[in-house]
Structures are given as structure tokens and as C-alpha cells.
Amino acid sequence: MPAEDLRLLIAGHLHLDGVLRGIPENEAVHSIVRDANMRAFERLVELAMEHPVDAVIITGSLFEGVPSVRAASLFRDGMAALAEEQIATVLASQSSQQINLLADCECLPESVQILSNDHPSLQIETRHAPRNPFHACLMDRVSSRSAQLPQVDLGIVNSGWLEPQHEENSHRNMACRLRVFNGAETFHSAQKPEGLWLAPGSIQALNGSYPGDRSVTICHLSATGEISYTNHSTSSVCYVEVDYPLNPAEEANKLQRGLFDLIEQSIPSAEQRAELYCFQWKMRGPIAALKTWNRAALKSILDRFHFTQETETQICHQLQWTLQLSGQGVSSNQIDVSEDVEEDLLRCLTEVGMTESRQSPTSAISALLNGKTGWDQAAIEELKQQIDWKQVCHRAAELGMTAWLNADTPAA
């Protein structure tokens, strides 16, 4: 008969030896970013102990490559700590090579049970019901006949990509209490009455080019057949993207209050906070606003918000500007090459050149392209090539703004 009541902590790709993308330039937070993946695993073990779970199920890759000594030792210690609490641990990783490497370096405790292609089905004893083990299997590695047996409690699918329109396909008729789909890493996740879709592996979620919130899922399978899910964050580093419209007439105090309010709203209550929040500020506005609130001015304001005393949470900031042409944000997905965009861009650049050099429009553009300004010349050369090839569009706008905003000194 199936296990009557189960509490499972389910996680996916751990990437214990991985390095987070989008590392901030701030050296003070380097160690937090460096150890983020390992700290997330430590938090996973802590959550399993804080909540009376019967088993920890890890369904994805443990490492990105060959495990380092430090990462392998951390994994060994974590598994040993769970064994001391009589919490069953199951690895359903597709990478048998990583598991073999852990075993070779004596970092795979005997208490850890392995679901693999060679052993796609397990009877797992728990501390609360040692005489009534639950049945877990790799549903894409066992036959339909065995997967339909009534004692299957947990079925794991490790193949395929997870998309919003993802279907159970050949596994539709495989009866089990909970199905976990752990496909290749994508941006989609969903929880359904009889299944948990992990995205990507529930612990290595991505937001654009930056890591997003890292979490594990605790599933409660009740004796009545009901399934409930609770997500728990394991993040030590959180990346927050904020889109902020700049107004050239806005006072410094008002701008500061607006930025501070957004920071406060983006950081959760103290007990759920990460160690580091890296804010990715996407500043957008007309040329006048980007000139008034340049990199130095905004950095001086944002640097005041780098630490919260009550929880010792670190905060760092990264800035990105988006020039608005004719009231529209410059986006490669929205704006095509056209004469209107070219004229608007050249008008904006001319206004800057005339303001800073007090020259005529023709002389200002000539000075800009001939390197007689304090602007970044590498970007200017690429901008000049774009104009020569009549390809002035969103890319040229980006280059022009990069050259201007990164200038060390104003134009003469």
C-alpha cells in the first residue's frame, strides 16, 4: 500500500561549484557572491531539519563540472547531517559521472540512495513509517506497466524541455501520487494538482542574464490524497531589476526618496532576507534627464543605501541607461532601422554637442565623430561606422549614450 502521509523537500540543480552571473564590482561583497551556491545548499539542509520532512529529493545536477574539494566536502557533510536526523536522502541526478566521482573521493555517505538509469526504482524507508516505505521511480526509465502499479508514490521525469505548453506525453497514464518534471533549465515553472514542474530545478532559477530567487519546495502528500506545496527561499544573493523613469526637473531629495522607497519595497521582511541584494537599475528618460542625472550623480545617491543595520544585509547597485527617442524607449525588439529614428538620434546627439561645445549643429557632429570631445572614442568609432553604413538605429543610440555617459571629462 502507498505511504499514508509524506513530507518531501524537493530540489533540483544544485550547481555547488558554479559561479553566479552578474557579479558586482564591489569587493566587499565578493565572498558572498562567490559562496552563494554553497550557502544555498547549507540553507537547504537547515530547512530539512527545521521542517519535519521524511525525505530530501534532489533531482538535478549536483555540480556544473568536476566537483571541487570544497564543494564535494560540503555535500558530504550536508548528507551526513541529514542522516543523523534520520532524514532519507535520494539523488535522482542524470549525471552518473558526478555520483561516481563523489564515491571515489569518499564524499557520498552510504545513507544516500540513488535513483539512476541502472536502478530506476527505489523503496525508501522513512523515520515516521519504517515499515511502510514509499516507492519512488524515474518514470522515463521504467516501463509503463511498473509505473502504473498502485504503490508508486513519487515519479520523476528527467528528460525534455519544460515549456508553458509542456504536456505529460507518454507519462500521462502512469499513476502515482506526485509527479515531478525536471527538464532542462528554462524559465517556466508551474504547480499542478498532481505534479510539480521545476524551473530550473527549483534552486537555480534565472531572471534574464542574472540569477533569480533560489528556492526549494516542500510537498505534503496527505493520507486523503491532497497535495500542498510550500516554497522556501535559499538565496544568499538576490538580483532585483528595477525600471526607473528619470525626470530632468526632479529635485534630488524627491529622487532620493523615490529610490529609497523602491529599495524598501523590494527587500522582504527580516526573517526572509538574503545576505546581499544586487539592484540592477534601468534608468530611462530623455537626453536632458540622462545628462542631469548622470552616472556620478546617481551613484552618489545610491551609495547611501548599501547596508541595513538591523539585519546586516548588504546592498549594491549597477546602473544602465536607456535613451528615450520621441518618448519611446530604445529597444532592439521594438525599433527598426528608419529615417525617423536616425534623424531623432542625430538631433539628440547634436543637442548635447551644441550644449557642451557651443558649436553649430554641423560643427558639433563633426567634433563628435572626429574625436574632439571627452567621449569614449571606441564607441564613437563604431557609431561613426554605423552612420557611414546608414545603419543608425537602436544600436547607434546605445553606442552614443555609452560614449557620452562613460566620458571621464566633459567636452571642451
pLDDT tens digits for range 250-286: 888 898 999 989 888 888 766 667 888 888 888 877 7
Q: What is the pLDDT of residue 380?
A: 58
User: How many Cβ atoms from other residues are within 10 Å of residue 140's Cβ?
Assistant: 19
> What integer is the mean pLDDT of 79-92?
92
Instruction: Specify whether 301 is located in the same domain as 227.
Output: no
- What pLDDT band is residue 388 in, cutting at 50, 70 and 90? low
Segments forming the whole domain that contains residue 282: 236-327
Q: CA 152, CA 154: separation in Å to the nearest integer?
A: 6
Instruction: Specify whether 26 is located in the same domain as 141.
Output: yes
Instruction: Specify whether 254 is located in the same domain as 360.
Output: no
Q: CA 266, CA 240: separation in Å to the nearest integer?
A: 7
Q: What is the CATH number of the domain that holds 110?
A: 3.60.21.10
Instruction: Specify whether 221 is located in the same domain as 314.
Output: no
Q: What is the pLDDT of residue 101?
A: 84
Helices (H), 125-232: 144-147
Q: What is the pLDDT of residue 162?
A: 42
Grid cell listed for 366: 563633426
Instruction: Specify whether 115 is located in the same domain as 45.
Output: yes
Q: CA 208, CA 221: separation in Å to the nearest integer?
A: 33
Instruction: Specify whether 34 is located in the same domain as 182.
Output: yes
Q: Give the contacts of 226 (CB within 8 A, at least 6 positions apart).
A: none
Instruction: Specify whether 142 is located in the same domain as 219.
Output: yes
Instruction: Specify whether 172 is located in the same domain as 215.
Output: yes
Q: Is the pLDDT higher at 186 or at 308?
A: 308
Does residue 1 sit within a domain? no
Q: What is the pLDDT of residue 55?
A: 92
Does residue 361 sit within a domain? yes
Does residue 389 sit within a domain? yes
pLDDT in tens, 277-314: 888 888 877 767 777 787 788 888 888 887 665 557 88
**C-beta of residue 381 within 8 angstroms of C-beta of residue 313:** no
Burial zone of 83 (CB within 10 Å; 0-12 exposed, 13-18 middle, 19+ buried): middle
Question: How many structural domains compose the chain?
Answer: 3
Instruction: Specify whether 172 is located in the same domain as 186.
Output: yes
> What integer is the mean pLDDT of 316-330?
63
Which among 73-77, 149-153, 392-396 has the top mean pLDDT? 73-77
Q: CA 179, CA 234: separation in Å to the nearest integer?
A: 23
pLDDT in tens, 32-72: 877 888 888 999 999 999 998 999 998 877 887 777 888 88
Instruction: Specify whether 76 is located in the same domain as 201.
Output: yes
Show which of 298, 327, 356 is a domain's final residue.
Answer: 327
**C-beta of residue 390 within 8 angstroms of C-beta of residue 345:** no
Instruction: Specify whether 205 is located in the same domain as 323.
Output: no
Show which of 234, 264, 283 is a domain's final residue.
Answer: 234
- What pLDDT band is residue 377 in, cutting at 50, 70 and 90? low
SS3 389: coil
Q: CA 99, CA 116: separation in Å to the nearest integer?
A: 10
Instruction: Specify whether 90 is located in the same domain as 127.
Output: yes
Does residue 51 sit within a domain? yes
Show which of 284, 306, 327 is a domain's final residue.
Answer: 327
Category of 169 on φ-ψ map: left (φ > 0), alpha (ψ -120 to 50) or beta: left
